[in-house]
């Protein structure tokens, strides 16, 4: 009797202590979230921008290294396996760019604007809507890639054993399309509130696991046989399924600053994501299509010309992880300030990010324009290839600053929720460089130099449109009105 009487208060005390601990933890997370928001609204722009950008850049570099390692492993299986994986790579890249930088940009923008406006319930509700979008787009890619993989990879040039390897690898890769979209979009949601540490941690752990797991599944370990090219796909599938489960669990417990809650779905929140995300996704398609069509035009000058242009333009893709990392920081900071109604600071952040982006791209551009062999010489010493690549660098690379402007203001536009002008700039760039370039070469007989001049004109035109939209207020006008209305209603 006495023991029971003594244990009851102890049990009650334990319950009170547990509640107090949970309350303290909740208060700490709330305080941390407010601290991050205040830093983006009032802190030093460059310091906050770098704090957000560097982990994302590290993530993209890690992903690139994992892709290189996987390509090396697959190459040990023979040419047919290497060609098969190469056939799948453009489709894989399209999906990941649409998830991370396209629809993911829409997610980050919507979350940042909601958090900046203090609409915490909407910010939390956006997590569920993000998850629904991830499942829908993931299933769409799974159905299309698995159901129509054979005609797709055959159209890209796959035949025989190479086509078979492509189909095997593709089937396993795209079985995990839903988890891939979940990881990318939930990472974007976390970036929207300035939480870049957790997505980076998940990626780095994944890279550490995939580098040894992939060869083990490809070649086998000890008495356990390998799965060949399928093993590479299985390794990716296992990683993304585990990463998606971790991310969903993390969002559900609410320690991230956002919380996944089951609630009714609202079209207004889907619209907040997709009005930015769909145009951003189409923008990535425009960029890749431009490179593809310009490559086809260059192909009229011979195989060596393709090698030269392909090698030189590969540098453009190498710059993207850094521009993307910086751009996502600009997006988050602009979106948060737009949501808070602080349009003047949002503009300063956009232009500050543009200056940083231009400084970086122009430095690289001038370097390779003066010393093209520094880059091209890493891959080949063929004279004809070097000639075309050097010609591209001498004409286009000095204008890499235009790319810096387009990227930075494109991400700022995602943050403000105003992507129309950026999409128009991308469309005009595509028409001039790809459409005009093809006509110039095929119909009017322009030399390679003429084609590259049109590419340069396209870059300048796109940058001019983006800069004009920002300077005229077109990127901010509706955002300012919406922010003011939301501030008044709250």
Give the helix/strand (H/E) hosting 340.
Answer: none
Looking at residue 348, its pLDDT comes to 95
**Rounded CA gap, 473 and 477, in Å?**
6
**Rounded CA gap, 409 and 475, in Å?**
9
Lowest-confidence pick of 12-16, 151-155, 223-227, 386-390: 12-16
Instruction: Find where tokens 């993207």 sit.
Output: 320
Strands 220-221 and 224-225: antiparallel
**Rounded CA gap, 68 and 207, in Å?**
12
Q: From the DSSP assignment, how many helices (H) and strands (E) are in the chain?
A: 20, 2
**Rounded CA gap, 438 and 243, in Å?**
43
- Confidence bin at 478 (pLDDT 50/70/90): low
Looking at residue 477, its pLDDT comes to 65
**Rounded CA gap, 71 and 84, in Å?**
11
Mean pLDDT in residue range 165-192: 92
- Confidence bin at 188 (pLDDT 50/70/90): very high
Mean pLDDT in residue range 11-15: 48
**Vertex 288: Cα angle to 206 and 468 (nearest 5):** 110
What one-character DSSP code corresponds to residue 299?
A: G
pTM: 0.81
Lowest-confidence pick of 2-11, 209-218, 243-252, 293-302: 2-11
Looking at residue 210, its pLDDT comes to 86
Average pLDDT for the chain: 85
**Which of 439, 449, 318 is CA-nearest to residue 396?**
449
CB atoms within 10 A of CB 44: 10
Looking at residue 32, its pLDDT comes to 57
CB 172 within 8 A of CB 236: yes
Looking at residue 9, its pLDDT comes to 47
With a pLDDT cut of 90, the percent of the chain lying above it is 44
Q: What is the pLDDT of residues 276-321, one digit of tens each?
A: 999 999 988 888 788 878 888 888 888 788 778 878 887 887 888 8
Give the helix/strand (H/E) hosting 379.
Answer: none
What one-character DSSP code corresponds to residue 341?
A: T
CB 293 within 8 A of CB 441: no
Looking at residue 30, its pLDDT comes to 52
Q: Residue ranges per domain, the chain?
A: 43-265, 273-485
- Confidence bin at 107 (pLDDT 50/70/90): very high
- Confidence bin at 65 (pLDDT 50/70/90): confident
Looking at residue 485, its pLDDT comes to 44
**Rounded CA gap, 160 and 166, in Å?**
10
Q: What is the pLDDT of residues 312-358, one digit of tens each?
A: 887 887 888 889 889 999 999 999 999 989 999 999 999 999 999 99
Looking at residue 244, its pLDDT comes to 93
User: How many angstroms separate the Cα of 137 from the Cα of each of 140, 177, 182, 216, 382?
Assistant: 5, 8, 10, 31, 43
**Which of 174, 285, 301, 281 is CA-nearest to residue 233?**
174
CB 148 within 8 A of CB 310: no
Which residues, including other chains, have CB under 8 Å from residue 116's CB and lie 6 or more apart? 37, 40, 41, 335, 336, 337, 338, 339, 340, 342
**Rounded CA gap, 187 and 204, in Å?**
13
Higher local confidence (pLDDT), 378 or 174: 174
DSSP structure string for 208-250: HHHHHHHHHHHHEETTEEP-THHHHHHHHHHHHHHHHHHHHHH
Looking at residue 33, its pLDDT comes to 62
- For residue 66, is pLDDT > 70? yes
**Which of 143, 165, 137 is CA-nearest to residue 153?**
165
User: How many angstroms separate the Cα of 33 from the Cα of each of 252, 256, 438?
Assistant: 16, 9, 51
CB 49 within 8 A of CB 326: yes
Sort 21 into a burial class: Cβ within 10 Å, 0-12 / 13-18 / 19+: exposed
């Amino acid at each position: 009797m006495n023991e029971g009487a003594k244990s009851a208060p102890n049990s009650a005390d334990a319950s009170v202590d547990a509640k107090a601990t949970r309350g303290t933890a909740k208060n700490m997370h709330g305080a941390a979230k407010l601290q991050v928001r205040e830093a983006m609204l009032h802190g030093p722009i460059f310091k906050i921008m770098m704090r957000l950008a560097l982990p994302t850049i590290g993530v993209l570099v890690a992903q690139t290294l994992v892709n290189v390692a996987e390509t090396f492993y697959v190459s040990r299986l023979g040419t047919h396996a290497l060609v098969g994986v190469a056939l799948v790579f453009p489709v894989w890249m399209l999906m990941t760019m649409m998830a991370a930088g396209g629809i993911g940009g829409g997610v980050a923008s919507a979350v940042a604007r909601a958090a900046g406006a203090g609409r915490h319930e909407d910010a939390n509700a956006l997590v569920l809507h993000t998850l629904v979008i991830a499942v829908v787009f993931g299933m769409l890619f799974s159905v299309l890639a698995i159901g129509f993989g054979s005609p797709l990879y055959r159209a890209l040039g796959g035949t025989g054993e190479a086509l078979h390897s492509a189909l095997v690898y593709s089937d396993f890769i795209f079985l995990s399309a839903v988890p891939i979209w979940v990881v990318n979009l939930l990472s974007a949601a976390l970036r929207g509130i300035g939480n870049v540490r957790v997505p980076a941690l998940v990626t780095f752990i994944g890279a550490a696991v995939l580098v040894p797991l992939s060869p083990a599944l490809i070649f086998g370990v000890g008495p356990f046989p390998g799965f060949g090219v399928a093993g590479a796909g299985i390794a990716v599938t296992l990683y993304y399924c585990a990463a998606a489960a971790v991310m969903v669990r993390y969002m559900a417990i609410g320690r991230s600053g956002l919380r996944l809650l089951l609630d009714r779905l609202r079209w207004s929140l889907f619209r907040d994501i997709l009005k930015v995300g769909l145009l951003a996704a189409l923008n990535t398609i425009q960029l890749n299509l431009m490179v593809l069509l310009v490559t086809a035009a260059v192909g009229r000058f011979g195989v060596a010309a393709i090698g030269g242009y392909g090698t030189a333009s590969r540098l453009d893709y190498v710059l993207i992880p850094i521009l993307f990392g910086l751009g996502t920081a600009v997006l988050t900071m602009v979106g948060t300030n737009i949501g808070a109604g602080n349009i003047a600071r949002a503009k300063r952040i956009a232009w500050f990010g543009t200056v940083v982006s231009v400084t970086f791209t122009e430095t690289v551009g001038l370097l390779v324009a003066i010393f093209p062999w520094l880059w091209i010489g890493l891959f080949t010493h063929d004279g004809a290839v070097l000639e075309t690549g050097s010609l591209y660098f001498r004409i286009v690379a000095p204008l890499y600053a235009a790319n810096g402007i387009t990227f930075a203001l494109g991400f700022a536009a995602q943050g403000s929720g105003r992507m129309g002008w950026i999409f128009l700039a991308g469309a005009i760039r595509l028409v001039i460089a790809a459409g005009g370039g093809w006509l110039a070469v095929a119909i009017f007989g322009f030399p390679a130099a003429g084609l590259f001049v049109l590419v340069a004109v396209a870059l300048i035109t796109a940058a001019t449109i983006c800069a004009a939209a920002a300077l005229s207020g077109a990127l901010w006008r509706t955002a300012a009105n919406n922010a003011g209305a939301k501030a008044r209603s709250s």
